[in-house]
Structures are given as C-alpha cells and as structure tokens.
Amino acid sequence: MSVKTQESQFAKDVHLGLTSTPKTLSSKYFYDQAGDKLFQSIMAMPEYYLTDCEFEIFNTQAEDILNEIAPNRRPFNLIELGAGDGSKTRVLLRHFLKSGVDFTYCPVDISAHILEELESALKDEMPDLQVELLAGDYFELLNERIGKFEGRNVFLFLGSTLGNYNEVKAQEFLSKLRAGMRPEDQLLMGVDLKKDPSVILRAYNDSHGITKEFNINLLRRINQELGADFDERFWKHCPNYDPQSGEARSYLVSTKPQKVYIEATDRSYSFEAWEEVHTEISKKYSLSQLERLGQESGFKVIKHFLDCKHYFVDTLWRPV
Ligand SMILES: C[S@@+](CC[C@H](N)C(=O)[O-])C[C@H]1O[C@@H](n2cnc3c(N)ncnc32)[C@H](O)[C@@H]1O
C-alpha cells in the first residue's frame, strides 16, 4: 500500500469513527514514530506487567516452545504479526539460532519506522538470522504475500495484541488467520489473563502519565498528518476496567463543548462537554474463555505456556 493510500485510509477511518455513535478512533493509528516510542516506554513501566510476564515465559520456556513448534527440528517461517520492536521475540530468536534450527523470521508491522528499528537491531545482534521484513497491514499481507510462502508457517501474535479486539472481532481475526493457514501451521499467541482488577487498571493508568501521553498522541497525529486542530488541553485520558467483560477500555473525553476541524476530510466535528471518544480496548481472558474462542475459530490448543503468577499465557494452537 502506498503512503498516499495509507494517509487517505487514515482520513477515512478517522471520519468514520468521529461520525459514528458512540465516537471511536482505531487503536491501530497509535503507532506513529512518537507512538512507537511511547509504547516502548509503556512496556518498560513496572505497572505494565504484561511485558515482564512474557519475557519470563520466553526466558524460562524457550526450549519447550521450540520442541513444540519444530519437532525433529523441521524448518519453518516464523511470521510475527504486529511485531513492534520485537524485544521479547529476540529472546526466542536467540535461542532458536543457538539450537541450529533452520528458520526465517518475518516480522510484519503497519509501522515502517518500528520495522526499520527492528531490522537494524537484528543486524547488530544476530547477523546470521534470515529475516524478511513485511511492512503493512497484516490482513492485506496475509492475502498478498504470506499465503504464498513456501514451507511451514508458525505465526506469532504476542504482547496481548489480540486483546485490542473485542470478542466478536477477535473471533473474526482468528477465523481469517485460520483460513490462511495450512494444516501443519501453528499459532503462538500471547494473551493477558483475568486477575486482580486493580493490577489491570494500573497498567493503563500509570502514575507518570505515560499511558495518558500515548492516548493523547493519537490527537497529535491527527493534527500533524490530517491537518486537524485538536487542542489537547481540552481532552482527558480516561481508562476503566470491567471485570465481567474483561475489557480495559481507554477513552479521550472532551472537557468542554468544542468543534474540531480536519483539513483532510474538510469537515468539522462537534463534541459535547464530557463526551467520550473510545480509543482502545485491551481484553483479558480466562483460560477457559480462551480455549472456547480457539474452538469457535477453528483451532485446537496444543499447550499453554504460563508465567509463575499465572498473569499471562503464550498459548500454542493448531488449525483443526
Ligand atoms: C500492542 S503492540 C505489540 C507489539 C509486539 N507484538 C509486542 O508484543 O511488544 C501492537 C503492534 O501491532 C502493530 N499493528 C497494529 N495493527 C496492525 C495491523 N493491522 N497490521 C500490522 N501491524 C499492526 C502496531 O504497529 C504495533 O507495533
């Protein structure tokens, strides 16, 4: 997809989100260069336990994971959807390289900037690693490129990115992915589990305001790329967590009645005082809910890899 098409898709999605009821902005647009940096800061926060948990799983169970995904050390393509900076994946990559298994790492991300950063880190750290970078939307790339790869594919979908979809959308995502998989392919997915709600809420509402900056940065991006005049002084970051749905939701709330003009759509959008714009969902699952989701999307669980607190799971699935 060309940069121009991506821009106009961004404008279309923002227009659609701000004219729908209730108003929304898609979380996939968080990740411009500043958003990538902010997300890296979030991952480094002590409150954002998800990163530490997934690091622990990979640091302590990489050999078990390899034994499941490459029995008899069969070669494979390791395709990471939404790879980001690949910081946790590098633990697996180092272990797989050391074991001598034949694989190609294919990180996919919509942020070309974060992929460049990942590429240069991999060249420095693991010059022998075979890498094929794929910049763009993972669904488009699944159809256009990944479906044509030769050999067995092992998909990674880490960091609880599945949680950015509600349950209906998660099933749609998994069913689409399942449709592009061959019988011998596998999926290793990092999923955040239900736990003490106060632990969860702190991860999306830290005391240093990094999660707030991440949310507000979406308005800055719309200002910069689409020529809008959002005034961030009149927007508040409001996260909440509902233990029943397992959804941590982030909102931007307008603190006064206001109109915002967006040059790219040539339209003004009105906001009432205290009207919310939904920006992100981070859904948490119980293991049984996750297993049901797998069944309903055409997968069978091979094995769960859990951290010691049972806060997080990397779950390995195969298509049925
Ligand atoms: C929550 S971050 C997780 C990053 C990484 N997997 C980790 O665990 O640290 C989500 C990543 O997915 C990417 N992303 C979001 N939507 C995407 C899409 N539709 N296609 C490709 N990449 C996407 C973002 O750019 C971002 O780097």
Contact status, residue 68 vs residue 143, Cβ threshold 8 Å:
no
Q: Give backbone dihedrals phi and psi of 150, rounded to 5 degrees, phi first.
A: -85, 150
Parallel, antiparallel or unpaired: strands 267-271 and 130-131: unpaired
User: How far away, in angstroms, is 109 Cα from ligand 1 center?
Assistant: 6
Please report where in the chains the tokens 């659609």 appear, as a residue: 16
Closest residue by CA, ligand 1 atom 1:
161
Q: What are phi and psi of 196, to 5 degrees?
A: -50, 120
* DSSP state, residue 277: E
pLDDT of residue 173: 94
Helix axes 112-125, 33-44, angle to 10 degrees: 60
Cis peptide preceding 75, ω within 30 of 0: no
Name 198's Cβ contacts closer than 8 Å, sequence gap at least 6: none
Does residue 176 have its Cβ closer than 6 Å to ligand 1?
no
Do 313 and 193 contact (CB within 8 A), yes or no? yes
Q: Hey, what amino acid is at 167?
A: E
Q: Given the structure tokens 């769960």, which residue do they identify?
A: 304
Q: How far is the CA of 318 from the centre of ligand 1 (A)?
A: 22
Cβ atoms of 312 and 57 closer than 8 Å:
yes
Q: Is 196 in a helix, a strand, or coil?
A: coil
The protein residue whose alpha carbon is closest to atom 9 in ligand 1 is 159
From the CB of 82, is ligand 1 less than 6 Å away? yes
Q: For ligand 1, atom 8, name the residue with the nearest CA.
A: 159
The CA-based angle 132-135-139, given to 5 degrees, is 105
Q: For residue 232, how many other CB atoms are within 10 A of its CB?
A: 13
- What are the chain's domains? 3-30+198-283 (no CATH), 49-195+285-319 (3.40.50.150)
Q: Report the pLDDT value the prediction gives residue 4, as an integer from 0 to 100.
A: 47
Q: Does ligand 1 lie within 6 Å of residue 281's CB atom?
A: no
CB atoms within 10 A of CB 153: 20
Task: Write the residue with the smallest CA distance to atom 13 of ligand 1.
Answer: 82
Ligand 1 atom having least distance to the Cα of 159: 8
In short, whether 84's Cβ falls inside 6 Å of ligand 1 is yes
Q: Estimate the crossing angle of helix 89-99 against helix 49-69, to 10 degrees.
A: 30
Closest to 142 measured CA to CA, from 155, 129, 131, 151: 155
Q: Ligand 1 mean position to 163 CA, how many Å? A: 11
Report the residue among 48, 54, 114, 161 best suited for mutation to probe ligand 1: largest number of ligand atoms under 8 A from its CB.
161
Residue 111 CB–ligand 1 contact under 6 Å:
yes
Q: In this structure, which residue's CA is closest to atom 19 in ligand 1?
A: 137
How far is CA 186 from each of CA 65, 208, 297, 318, rounded to the nearest angstrom?
Answer: 12, 39, 14, 5
User: Dihedral angle at the C-alpha atoms of 296, 301, 304, 310, nearest 10 degrees?
Assistant: 20
| pLDDT tens digits in sequence order for the chain, 320 residues long | 444 445 589 999 999 999 999 999 999 899 999 999 999 999 999 999 999 999 999 999 999 999 999 998 899 999 999 999 999 999 999 999 999 999 999 999 988 889 999 999 999 999 999 999 999 998 888 878 887 888 999 999 999 999 999 999 999 999 999 998 999 999 999 999 999 999 999 999 999 999 999 999 999 999 999 999 999 999 999 999 999 999 999 999 999 999 999 999 999 999 999 999 999 999 999 999 999 999 999 999 999 999 999 999 999 999 99
Q: Is the CB of 48 under 6 A from ligand 1?
A: no
CA of 72 to the centre of ligand 1 (A): 31
Residue by residue, what is the 3-state secondary structure of 251-309? EEEECCCEEEEECCCCEEEEECCCCEEEEEEEECECHHHHHHHHHHCCEEEEEEEECCC
Q: Is 206 in the pocket of ligand 1 (CB under 6 A)?
A: no
Ligand 1 within 6 A of CB of 163: no
* Backbone φ and ψ of 277, nearest 5°: -120, 120
pLDDT at 232 (0 to 100): 97
Torsional class of 189: left (φ above 0), alpha (ψ -120 to 50), beta (otherwise): beta
What pLDDT is stored for residue 7 in this prediction? Answer: 58
Q: Which among 21, 23, 45 is positioned nearest to 205, based on CA atoms? A: 45
